[in-house]
Structure 1
Amino acid sequence: MTKQAGTLTDQNSTKARWLLLIGVILVGANLRVPITSVGALITFIREDLGISNASAGMITTLPLIAFALLSPFAPRIANKIGMEWTIALSLVLLITGMIVRSIAGIGYLFTGTIFVGLAIAIGNVLIPGIIKMSFPLKIGIMTGVYAVFMNIFGALGSGLSVPISSVGNMGWQGALNIWGIITIIALLIWLPQLRKHPDESPKANVEKDKKTNLWRSSIAWSVTLFMGGQSLAFYTLITWMPDILRTVGYNAGGAGWMVFLMQVALIPTTFVIPVIAEKMSNQIGLAVGTAVLFIIGFTGLMSGSMALVPVWAILLGIAGGSGFSLSMMFFTIRTKDGKEAAELSGMAQSFGYLLAAVGPVLVGVLHDRSNGWIMPLIFLIIISVVILAAGIVSGKEGTISDQSNKQISKEWIEEV
């Protein structure tokens, strides 16, 4: 009886871990596609609703603002009701937002878009904490798998939404809603996680939380700057790279394929980098390599060589994938537990996505003021230097808890 009971327990444990693994993958799959799908359909939405280009632009900007506003509070919500319940409720909010934004009317469109942004912000912040708590010996692999599926489905949202909209009477509303099927499946797979009971209550962590002050940690601020810098670079490229390439001889179609090539180069990098990073005592080399690739890519675009654009696109894609994956890894390997990982994730992603929302606008202003792309690209090279400096500090061995009582003023400068 004892042996049989032990076997059943092992089987149940294995099944539970597989359900959690699939759940994490499916939640990750929902963290990009609701945004990339609407970006691909924005022309149809604008024409159907009769809205201006500025209003249409808000459809992609609102989620980034929602990321910035909610990210710091997601860990607090999770501390109250648990990470599992918070993620489940975020999936419900995501489904609601996707339905609401497809109802005719600009008010519904913007309201639903805000719901979508808030829901995704929760998943962005909490998944690194879930990985650290549930897969402590496989953080690199799990981070890589989650990031790969997130970016694959993000690319599918960009590529398939327009063809889907032309099938029958689907239209842009049907094309947006069809991605909700993945969200519903993710919610159903995630439901077994709601039976879990946290090993430690929020009250039991009060004393430990008081000892760790993220806002006084040079590591926390360096990770935040690294996350912010790579987010700004990536979202600015997604927004402006087609226009930059047209000035060197590419037509709209060719420029689009170069952006696609950049995103293809990003996908394998998001898996490989976390696996490598986990095995290293420090990640300074990876962080420096990421920044250098950004600098080479931006400098290459500034050179105006049409023939070498595919090379620059690939290098920038590798840099973007490496920057994102390293950011996710820093959330886990620079913290002592899942709750602290979620706190750092919230801090870094709040600032990071705020920069990501401001970056494309600022680059557009620089382009208008200078009547060219040299000044905007110089600005992006400066951002790459910030990524380099922040990456050196973020990549050093140690955790936030190791220096929780230190001031950041002189220490950050000295460590760089």
Structure 2
Amino acid sequence: MPSTRTRHTRTTPPPAARRTHRALTLAALLLLAANLRAAITGVPPVLDTLQTAFHLTGTQVSVLTTLPVLCLGAFAPAAPALARRTSTETVLAAACTLTLAGILTRTFPTPAALFTGTLLAGAGIALGNVLMPAVVKRHFPDRVGTMTGLTMTLMAATGALAAGLAVPLTTYAGWREALTLWAVPATAAGAVWTLLATRRTRQRPETTGTAGTATARPSVLRSPLAWAVAALLGIVSLCFYVLVAWTPDIMRDQGYPAAEAGAMTSLMLTVGIPLGLAVPVAATRVTDQRPLVAAVIALKAAGLSGILLAPQHAWVWTGVLGIAIGAAFPLAMTLLSLRSPDPATAARLSAMAQTGGYLLAGCGPAAIGILHTFTGSWHTPLLLLITLTVPELAVGLVAARPGFVGAR
């Protein structure tokens, strides 16, 4: 008797539908990137206002500034597992919703709401951070450098914009309005990713991709290359957050006025914005990224050494550091895609690297601050940061060597 079971065949969408889906995915990716820094960087400039409004202690303020970075590491491992059980689109829609919920929650006038909202926003941003390289790898495999560059540039630009607008908006409208502003891009990102998730559920699940795979894959934890990429991202993140946190204090202790020290920090962050686009593109146009890694780390060592040995030229050295840290993070994020043979591996490698990287980075500013307090000067902390460029170069040369995680 012939079987009545219907065989399901996967049909290829027409070209117009593929182009529409690709354009929608691009819009969703860029909106996601626009939400991965602003909800964090908009808070530190108004900490004094928040401390007064919520009657926070010094310890609570320290926790509030460290909590988002720790969230980026703590929640990162959940992203690939959730994507395998549902889909990447569903997880990213949830991530944007969590970010939106966090932004709105922390506007309630209680310390509990402030910390809970920060935790929720940090969790959403962590999920988005991890899965963004996987989205690039799956949907834009022929444009990894360009797409990574666009997302890095948007992250840096919106982060700088949030920091720059925080004080003026707080002055003219209030701290709630200053923080709530970033609910707008979070709402837009959540809507587009929800649309993509709905479209995905109407299709047959793919046998490979970020959401799952039918083939068992080796653990990235057993790959020396994966550990090198993770270590590189960890040291890069550590140095970035330490310099953002302590550069104003370092410059003030060198005799510069507070306003000028703040302007130097702003220069350091602004210089790196265009590099977020240029460096990933350059990295994908060569098969061996080791010379690029070596050049970036050499610039970082030169900038740190200059501040230590010739602080009278601090404007020059902060500019050099801006180039170095502005190039280092996009380069490390690009390596997550370049060292991954497929989107699923990109998601797992991203989770591994960002878990260790952000947990390390979250502890960095506090550790450097304690070292400064113990020694009474910035010489030892700066020497430690200079010394860290040696292991950074060692793991960077391994991470930048041609090859894939899991390949023999």
Provide, for residues 363-415 of structure 1, a one-character-per-residue CA deviation record: whole Å limited to 9, x for no partner.
Answer: 11111111101100011012111211111000100001214xxxxxxxxxxxx
What amino acid maps onto 1:126 in structure 2? Answer: L
Q: 57-66 or 152-161: which moved more?
A: 57-66
Q: How does 1:42-81 map to 2 (within 5 A)?
A: 42-81=47-86
2:206 to 199, 202, 205: 199
The structure richer in helix per residue is: 1
CA distance in 2 between counterparts of 1:67 and 1:217 reads: 23
User: Secondary structure at the residue paired with 2:407?
Assistant: helix
The answer to whether 1:253 aligns with 2:256 is no
CA distance in 2 between counterparts of 1:132 and 1:226 reads: 20
User: Secondary structure at the residue paired with 1:166?
Assistant: helix
Provide, for residues 82-105 of structure 1, a one-character-per-residue CA deviation record: whole Å limited to 9, x for no partner.
Answer: 100000011111111111111011
List gaps (5 residues or longer) in structure 1: 1-7, 404-416
CA distance in 2 between counterparts of 1:200 and 1:43 reads: 52
Provide, for residues 311-348 of structure 1, a one-character-per-residue CA deviation record: whole Å limited to 9, x for no partner.
Answer: 21121111112211111111111011111101000000
Q: How does 1:342-357 map to 2 (within 5 A)?
A: 342-357=347-362
1:206 CA displacement? 5.0
Alignment match, 2:248: 242
What amino acid maps onto 2:45 in structure 1? Answer: A
Alignment match, 2:311: 305
Alignment match, 2:300: 294
Q: How does 1:107-256 map to 2 (within 5 A)?
A: 107-167=112-172, 170-194=173-197, 195-196=199-200, 197=203, 198-200=205-207, 205=213, 207-209=215-217, 212-256=218-262
Contact 1:133 1:337 in 2 (8 A): yes
Query: Are the structure 2 counterparts of residues 13 and 56 from structure 1 closer, same or farther at C-alpha, using a change threshold of 3 Å?
Result: same
Alignment match, 2:344: 339
List gaps (5 residues or longer) in structure 2: 1-12
Q: How does 1:26-45 map to 2 (within 5 A)?
A: 26-45=31-50
- Superposed CA RMSD: 1.5
CA distance in 1 between counterparts of 2:84 and 2:332 reads: 23
CA distance in 2 between counterparts of 1:149 and 1:201 reads: 29
Contact 1:248 1:304 in 2 (8 A): no
What amino acid maps onto 1:208 in structure 2? Answer: A
CA distance in 2 between counterparts of 1:31 and 1:183 reads: 9
1:157 CA displacement? 0.5
TM norm structure 1: 0.91
What amino acid maps onto 1:11 in structure 2? Answer: A
1:201 CA displacement? 6.2
TM norm structure 2: 0.93
Alignment match, 1:414: none
Number of positions where the alignment pairs a residue of Structure 1 with one of Structure 2: 391
* Percent identical: 35
CA distance in 2 between counterparts of 1:387 and 1:366 reads: 21
Provide, for residues 222-243 of structure 1, a one-character-per-residue CA deviation record: whole Å limited to 9, x for no partner.
Answer: 1011000010000000000001
1:305 CA displacement? 2.5
1:218 CA displacement? 1.0
Contact 1:24 1:127 in 2 (8 A): yes
Alignment match, 1:320: 325
Query: Are the structure 2 counterparts of residues 157 and 9 from structure 1 closer, same or farther at C-alpha, using a change threshold of 3 Å?
Result: same
What amino acid maps onto 1:176 in structure 2? Answer: L
Q: 60-69 or 349-358: which moved more?
A: 60-69
Alignment match, 2:375: 370
